[in-house]
Structure 1
């Protein structure tokens, strides 16, 4: 089997694991275990806490001491054990700590899977800008199929979703044993203390362009957390209107939300064209415009025929909003940094987006939602319009502050560093 197909299988399993429980675990904890909203929020906060700490540290270990693919195996074995144990937990405090262990192991594997893919493609003389998106799209397919499987087999309110995720983690760990070795960076003579401690990627903050990029990555990570946290509750709240109680939106909100991931497939495949044609600055601006539309369409969408069209359009633009920021940002990091700090830099990007950004987004958006909640009723239109204004403001600031000269020839071969 060719290396591209092997990487596609790895990507599929990587995100199948996440899709098995990420969207539906909250419903299981509330409806089956009787957790409160605050307790569910604390359990979900483990992702942000872990992403602040672990991806950069694990990236350093992968660059300096343990080959990335071997570390990847160890982490997924830990995930398998944690998820298996979580399926038997009914106490919110224990669930928090068990899923924190899982998050500490899982969050770094996202950046490591990128590093493994880039290294294998480069070693086999493939253009990473063109070759990586079709590989990463299989991760999105895995996430979608996991969501649909859990829903169609009626495991949304069952601990079976955790058993399935644990099984998939074990399968991925075993499968990764067959992947090519990803060597650590060669030790250099006369290293300074920064290099010896493996903190090279943090030196990127000395470059104004890279520092700005990471700041905006964090701010966009907050946007992503907003939609992940409140998209499903927003759709469920339409049940309070008797005219919408039996609507598709209220009955199958997770399936409707999965259209967002389906849209990702098309936009991932479009990334190489847009990056080579327009460069990272314009691609990121398109992402920020898409986030603005995502929230603006939510503000006016509902289960009525016309409102449903607006909700569907919101799901479709999500694919652009997410991919043009997340996947393109990963490729941009790969293009700009030296290969000996590749894993560290990818880990740092993950930390800013899914760590700091996720934590800031969850705290800030929660306060906004509470502020616009009166007698248990949320003013969703105002909430979404405020979030849309935030995304638009980010786009304006990014346009005027981020200096980037697009050089298409540099994207012709990402493996060549300048």
Structure 2
């Protein structure tokens, strides 16, 4: 097998593991187990909590002591075993800790898979900028395929979704040991302080008003991302409780409907260069925030019949909401930080969105939905849930437009993208 195909397979399985359960876990939690809503917020916080410390820790290990591909393989095998144990859990507290352990092993593999791909491509004289994006797109395809398999096999509310993910994770872990070697780079200075080793020197960026503001908004947007991951599929499945919608396509194939979001993601990636050159980094980030308003707003008014188009459009604008902020945000970091701490700054950007932002979105939404939008029977007021999320996104967008100052420089964007 060629190098590009082998890395494509790695990328596909990397996100297949996640897609098998991430969007459908709410159906298992609320439907099969019938556990409480406030506790569910804590389940999704495990992604954020593990993203705060594990990528940095595994990065140091791969830099200093262990081949990256071996560490990657070990993490996936251990994560797969944790996922396989989930169906045996019978109470919410234990469920939280098992998911947390699984995420401690899984979340650092996202950045490790990128590092492994970069290293192998460079070692084989490939143009990384040109070759890597098509490889990474197959990760999104893997996520979509896993969602479809979970739904079409009738497992969107069953324990089997975790077995599907576990088998893929262990298979990927074993496969990783066959990849070309990625030995430790030992790039960290021997006399580097602990702060430098952990990449924490990037925190001094919070001393710059503009960059600090950017990181704060990154956290708020990271919270918004969790909301549709947590509640999107269970929202569509809940239409089953309305007699006229019970047998609708949306209810039966909710996960496939949600996968339109990921399909849209792959298409909007292709549109990013045009938008960045034409409108600049700040406007593209603002477009993302307004897309979140539309994402939540269309969900609030959509239904499986006359309002089906709203649900579809909501899934389509998700691509803009997700991609535009992540890509333009990373470009902002690339163009505004010192080269010595640029990698650490990118790590801080991810920590604020996938770490602190995810924790904020998970805990707060879980509490608010359980307290204000769920009746005594456990029925959720989805219309007002999504409206409140839309208002939240709109407030963030307006505040960003007013407070964040950044002048568009087409040449700056051009240089970074090439």
TM-score range, shorter chain: 0.7 to 0.9
Residue 326 of structure 1, CA deviation:
2.7
Distance (whole Å) between structure 2 residues aligned to residue 256 and residue 274 of structure 1: 27
What is the distance in 2 between the residues matched to 1:67 and 1:212? 37
Structure 2 partner of 1:96 = 96
Shift of 1:34: 5.3
SS in 2 for 1:320: helix
| Structure 1: segments with no counterpart, 5+ residues | none
1:173-193 CA distance string (max 9 Å, x none): 233331452653524476456
Q: Deviation of residue 291 (structure 1)?
A: 0.6
Equivalent residue for 2:258? 257
Q: Note the C-alpha offset of 1:120.
A: 5.0
Instruction: Name the CA distance, whole Å, in 1 between partners of 2:63 and 2:404.
Output: 29
Which of 369, 391, 394 is residue 392 of structure 1 equivalent to?
A: 394
Relative to structure 2, which stretch is displaced further, 218-227 or 405-414? 405-414
> 1:60·1:198 contact (CA, 8 Å) conserved in 2?
no
Instruction: For residue 41 of structure 1, report the CA deviation from its aligned partner.
Output: 4.3
Number of residue equivalences: 414
Deviates more, 1:152-161 or 1:351-360: 152-161
> What CA distance in whole angstroms lies between the structure 2 residues aligned with 1:7 and 1:13?
10
- Residue 415 of structure 1 deviates from its aligned partner by 9.4
TM-superposed deviation, 1:51: 2.3
1:164 aligned residue: 164
2: CA distance, partners of 1:106 / 1:328: 25
Q: Give the aligned CA root-mean-square deviation in angstroms.
A: 3.1
Superposed CA offset, 1:234-259 (max 9, x none): 32333333222222222322221111
Q: Which residue of 2 aligns with 1:215?
A: 216
Query: Is 2:292–2:321's contact at 8 Å kept on the other side of the alignment?
Result: yes
Matches of 2:90 and 2:303 in 1, distance apart? 35
Structure 1 SS opposite 2:185? coil
Give the equivalent residue in structure 2 for 1:248.
Answer: 249
Residues 65 and 184 in structure 2, CA contact (< 8 A), matched pair in contact too: no
Deviation of 1:206 (Å): 3.5
| SS of 1:22 mapped into structure 2 | coil
Q: Is residue 17–residue 169 contact of structure 1 (8 Å, CA) maintained in 2?
A: yes
- Could you tell me how far apart the structure 2 residues matched to 1:24 and 1:382 are? 22
The 8 Å contact of residues 223 and 357 in structure 2, kept in 1 or not, is answered as yes
- CA gap 1:33/1:229 in 2 versus in 1, 3 angstroms: closer
> Aligned pair in 2 of structure 1 residues 413, 14: CA closer, same or farther (>3 Å)?
farther
Q: 1:158 deviation in Å?
A: 3.5
Deviation at 1:59, TM superposition (A): 3.6
Pick closer, same or farther for the CA change 1:334–1:160 going to 2, 3 Å.
farther
Task: Give how far 1:148 is off.
Answer: 0.6
Partner Cα separation in structure 2 for residue 341 and residue 54 of structure 1: 19
Q: Quick check: 1:154 aligned with 2:167?
A: no
Counterparts in 2 of 1:307-346, with a 5 A limit?
A: 307-330=307-330, 332-333=332-333, 344-346=344-346
Contact kept, 8 Å, 2:8 with 2:136, in 1: the verdict is yes
Comparing 95-104 with 231-240, greater Cα deviation is found at: 231-240
Which residue number in structure 1 is paired with residue 110 of structure 2?
A: 110
- CA displacement, residues 10-60 of structure 1 (integer Å, 9 cap, x when unaligned): 221111000111122333344445544455444333223222332333344
Residue aligning to 2:7: 7
Equivalent positions of 1:33-72 (< 5 A) are: 33=33, 35-63=35-63, 66=66, 68-72=68-72
Preserved contact between residue 116 and residue 182 of structure 1 (Cα < 8 Å): no
Aligned partners of 2:335, 2:126: CA distance in 1, in Å?
15
Taking a change above 3 Å as real, the CA distance of residues 314 and 29 of structure 1, as seen in their structure-2 partners, is closer
Contact 2:12 2:138 in 1 (8 A): yes
**In 1, Cα distance between equivalents of 2:114 and 2:255:** 27
Post-superposition shift, 1:78? 1.8
Alpha-carbon spacing, 1:227–1:197, altered in 2? closer, same or farther (3 Å) = closer
List per-residue Cα deviations over 1:299-354 (Å, max 9, x = no partner): 2211223x111111111101111111234434554566677756644443332112
Q: Quote the residue 1:383 is aligned against.
A: 385
Q: Is 1:74 aligned to residue 74 of structure 2?
A: yes
- Aligned equivalents of 1:340, 1:185: Cα separation in 2: 16
Equivalences for residues 333-412 of structure 1 within 5 A? 333=333, 344-369=344-369, 370-374=371-375, 376=377, 378-412=380-414
Distance 1:408 1:125 in 2: 27
Alpha-carbon distance in structure 2 between the residues aligned to 1:10 and 1:338: 32
In the alignment, is the contact (CA less than 8 A) between 2:120 and 2:180 conserved in 1?
no
* CA–CA distance in structure 1, aligned partners of residues 47 and 126 of structure 2: 35
Secondary structure of the residue aligned to 1:303 is coil
Q: Secondary structure at the match of 2:325?
A: helix
Q: Per the alignment, do residues 189 and 406 of structure 1 end up closer, same or farther by CA in structure 2, a change over 3 Å counting?
A: farther
Q: What SS is found at the alignment partner of 2:88?
A: coil
Deviates more, 1:365-374 or 1:186-195: 186-195
CA distance in 2, matches of 1:387, 1:39: 19
Partner of 2:284: 283
